[in-house]
Chains A and B, each alone.
Chain A
Amino acid sequence: MLRYLRDSLVFAPCYIALDWASYIDPVGPFNITPWNPQHGLAITWLLLGGLQYTPAVLITEVIAEAVVRNLPGGYFIAALTSVTLTGGFVAIAWLLRMLLPDPGLRSTRHLTLFVTVVTAGTAISGLAFVGLLRGGDLLGATSVSEALIRFWIGDAVGILITAPLLLAVVDAERRADLLLLAHRPETLLQIATLVGTVWLTFFGLGGDPSRYFYFLFVPLIWIAARGGMNGAVVATAIVQIGLVIGIHHETAGTGVPVLELHALVVALTLTGLYLGMMVDERERVARSLRESLRLAAAGEMTGAIAHEVNQPLTALSNYGESALMVLEKRNITEPTLRDIIMRMLEESRRAAEVVRRLRDFFRSGTTRLESLPPEELLATVRRIGQQVLGANHRILTVRDEPDLPPLYVDRMQIEVVIRNLIANAREAIEETQDSTRAIDVQLRRYDDKHVCLVFADSGPGVSNDLRNRVFEPFVSGKPTGMGLGLAISRAIAEAHGGSLEARAARHGEFHLILPCTPTA
C-alpha cells in the first residue's frame, strides 16, 4: 500500500509535467497534440508495475486535465475522456503483458508486437476519444478525420519514443549498456553530429524543417548501427526534443507543418528502432557463436589435455598406494618413503603445469607463445601421426627445408590444429579406396617472419564451393562431422597471427602458416 502511494506520487508529477511540456499546437482546447510522451510514461508504468495502478493513472489524468487544460469540456467530459484514455493505456499494457515474455524488447519479433499493439491501440482509443468529443459537439472547426489523425500520430509518437527509452533505463542490464555507450568517445561525436543536424534542420537552414528532415536519418542510422537499440532510443528522443523546441521557437511562425513533421518522426523512430534491434540481434548471435566456438575449442583442448593430466594423477595415486604399503610392511627398505614422496612431488608439479595451461586457455583463450625448434614441431607431427593413424602411420611422410628458423607458437594449441588436420587427412584418404594412400607434411619457409606447414593427402581434396565455407562452424564435408575442427583450427592459427587455408588441388591440401620467433 505504501509502495503503491509512493509510486503514484512519483508518477503523477512526472505525468503532469510531461503533459504540460508537450501541450503544444492542440486541436481546440483538448489534449490532441502532436506528441504525447506522458502516455508512453503511463503505459510503461502499467506494463512494469501492473494493472493495479489503473486507478492512480485515471486520477492523475483527471488532475492533468484540470491543471494543464483547466477542464475545457466541464467535469463530465473530463471524466469521460480520462476514462477513455486510461482505458486505452490499460488495454495496450494488458496486451503487451500478455504477448511479451518480458518488457525488455529483446528481439525483432517483440519490437514488431510492441509497435503493432501501440499503433492499433492508439488508433482505437483515438476513435473513442474523438468520437466522444464529436458527440459532445466539442471539436469546433476541426474535422473528425483530422482530429483522429492528429491524436493517433501524437499518441503513437509519444509512446513509441518514450516507452522504449524508459524500458531501456529501467532494465538493469540495458542501463549498464547505456552507461557503457555513454562513455565511448564515438558516442560524443555521434550526439554532437545529431544535435548539429537537428539544429540545422529546425533553425540553421531556415524555412520548412520537413524539407531537410531526411538529413536526420544519416546520424540516426550511424548511431543505431553502432550503438544498437540503446543508441536508437536515445537518438530518437533527441530528435523529438529538438523538434519540440523547434516548434516552440516557431510558435509565432505559422508555416511549421507540425503534423507532417511528426509523421516523419514516426518513420524515423521506426527505422531507428528496427535497425538498432537488428544490430543488437546480430551482435548477440555473433557473441553466442564466438562463445560456443571458444567452448568447443576449450573442449578440444580438454580432450587433448585430459590424457596429460591423467598421467601424473595416475602416477601420483600409484605412488601414494605404494607409500602406504611401505608404511604398513615395516620390513621393506627399498625404496624408501622419502624416495617415493620425491617422485610424488615431481608428478604433482607436472600435473600443475598442465592445469595451468588449461586455465590460461579458459581464462582468455589467449596463447602462451614460446619458441619451438622446427625439428620439435616435426617430431610432434610424427607423434600425433602415430597416435591418429595407429598401425598405418607409415603412410605419413614428414619433410622440411634446411636452416628453418624456430617457430613462436603455443605448443598445446598447435598440437590441436595438427591433430585436426591429420585426422581430416586420414578420413579423406579412407574415402578413396586407393592403394597409394599417403599423407605428406612439409615444413617450408613462407616469408621472413612466417613458416608454412603444408598438409597434403591423397584424398579427393575440398570441392570448390566448400573451400572457404569449410572453415565456418558447423559446415562439414563429412556426413558425421560436427564441422568444428577446422573452424577451431583456423581460429587458433589466426590467434597466432598466422592463417589456415584449403588449397585448390586435385588432392587434399591445407596450408598452415605460423609465425617464427622474432629475432631480437
Chain B
Amino acid sequence: MHPDGLTVYIVEDDASVRDSLGLMLGLAGYRTVFFADAEAFLAAWREEWAGCVITDLKLPGASGVELQAEMQRRGSQLPFIIITAHGDVAAARAAFRADAVDFLEKPFDHGQLRAAIQTALSQEDQRLRRAAETDRLALLTAREREVLEQAVKGLHAKEIARVLGISARTVEVHKTRLMAKLGVRNVAELVRFAIAGDEPETRK
C-alpha cells in the first residue's frame, strides 16, 4: 500500500488536529512524524528524508506555503499537501503555483486526504527509484556506457562490435558486466532502465 521507508511529516500547530491526524494515519499504517511549526520542521530536516509533508497553511511564524518555498529553495523535492481552515483562494493559488499535490479544506474528506497522500507517496517512490537508477548508471565505465547506448538501439553483439571497432567477444563481456551492475536480466529490462534513467536528465 505504501512503500517502505516513506514517512508522512505533519506540520500543524493545533495539538488536537495534530494528535488526531497522527492517530488516524498511524492506524492506516503510515509512518508519521509531527512538528508544531515550520521552524521546528526546518531545524529537524535531513536531506535523506523521503515521504510527503502535510502542513497547515496558517502556522505561527512562517506559513505552510512559505515552508514549501523554503524546502524547494533547499533543493528538496518532498511533495506537499496543504490543509487550511480558511477556504482561501489566494492561498490555494499560491500552493498550486508552488506545485503542492493538493490543497484541502478543514474538515477534510478522508478519502481525498488518503488519495492525496497516495499520489504524493507514489510520486516520491518514483523519484527515489529514478535516483537509484541514476546512481547505478554512474557505476558504468565509459566503454560499458557505449555498449549500453548501442544495445538499447536494438543492435546485436556483432553489430555493436563493428560500430565500436572492437571484437564481438569483448562486447559480450561488457554487456554481461553492465547488466550485472544495473541489476537487469535481459535486454528488454535494459531498454526500460535506460529510458527511465534518461528521463530526469531530459527533464532538466
Q: Measuring CB to CB, which residues of chain A are less than 8 angstroms from any residue of chain B?
A: 303, 306-308, 310-319, 321-322, 325-326, 329, 332, 335, 340, 343, 346-347, 350, 383, 386-387, 390-391, 393
Contacts and interface: CB of A to CB of B under 8 A. Distances in A.
A326 B27 CA distance: 8
B107 A393 contact: no
B16 interface: yes
B175 interface: no
Nearest to B108: A314
A335 B27 CA distance: 10
Interface in B49-64: 58, 60-63
B131 interface: no
Contacts of A391: 61-62, 66
Contacts of A350: 16
Interface residues of B, number: 22
A318 B24 contact: yes
B149 interface: no
B19 interface: yes
Nearest to A339: B23
Nearest to B23: A322
A322 B61 contact: no
A308 B19 CA distance: 16
Interface in B1-48: 14, 16-17, 19-21, 23-24, 27-28
A390 B66 contact: yes
6 smallest CB-CB distances across A and B, nearest first, come from A318-B20, A310-B85, A315-B16, A307-B85, A314-B107, A315-B20
Interface string B83-127: 001100000000000000000001110100000000000000000
Nearest to A308: B85
Given A318-B23, A390-B66, A307 B58 contact: yes
Contacts of A326: 27
A242 B23 CA distance: 84
Contacts, number: 78
Given A306-B86, A307-B85, A391-B66, A314 B20 contact: yes
20 contacts: A303-B86, A306-B85, A311-B14, A311-B106, A313-B107, A314-B17, A314-B20, A314-B107, A318-B17, A319-B20, A322-B23, A322-B27, A325-B24, A325-B27, A332-B27, A343-B16, A387-B58, A387-B60, A390-B66, A391-B62
**Interface hub of A303, A326, A387 (most chain B Cβ within 10 A):** A387
Given A316-B107, A321-B24, A332-B27, A311 B61 contact: no
Given A318-B17, A321-B24, A387-B58, 14 more contacts: A303-B86, A313-B106, A313-B107, A314-B17, A314-B21, A314-B106, A315-B19, A317-B107, A318-B20, A319-B24, A322-B20, A322-B27, A335-B23, A387-B60
A146 B28 CA distance: 100
A474 B110 CA distance: 42
Contacts of B14: 311, 315
B98 to A, nearest CB: 15
Contacts of B85: 306-308, 310-311, 314
Contact of B107 (A308, A310, A325, A390): A310
A212 B6 CA distance: 98
Contacts of A383: 60
A391 B64 CA distance: 11
Contacts of B62: 390-391
A325 B23 CA distance: 10
A322 B24 contact: yes
A109 to B, nearest CB: 41
Contacts of B108: 314, 317
B20 A311 contact: no
A310 B85 CA distance: 6
Contacts of B27: 322, 325-326, 329, 332
Contacts of B58: 307, 387
Given A313-B106, A386-B60, A387-B60, A307 B86 contact: yes
A329 B63 CA distance: 37
A390 B63 contact: yes
**Interface hub of B27, B63, B85 (most chain A Cβ within 10 A):** B27
A183 to B, nearest CB: 47
B30 to A, nearest CB: 12
A483 B179 CA distance: 71
A474 B79 CA distance: 43
A308 B14 CA distance: 10
A487 to B, nearest CB: 23
B34 to A, nearest CB: 13
A329 B27 CA distance: 9
B2 to A, nearest CB: 15
Contacts of B19: 315, 343
B110 A311 contact: no
Given A383-B60, A393-B61, A317 B110 contact: yes
A161 B20 CA distance: 72
Given A310-B85, A313-B106, A318 B66 contact: no
A420 B108 CA distance: 28
Contacts of B20: 314-316, 318-319, 322, 343, 347
Given A306-B85, A311-B85, A318 B21 contact: yes
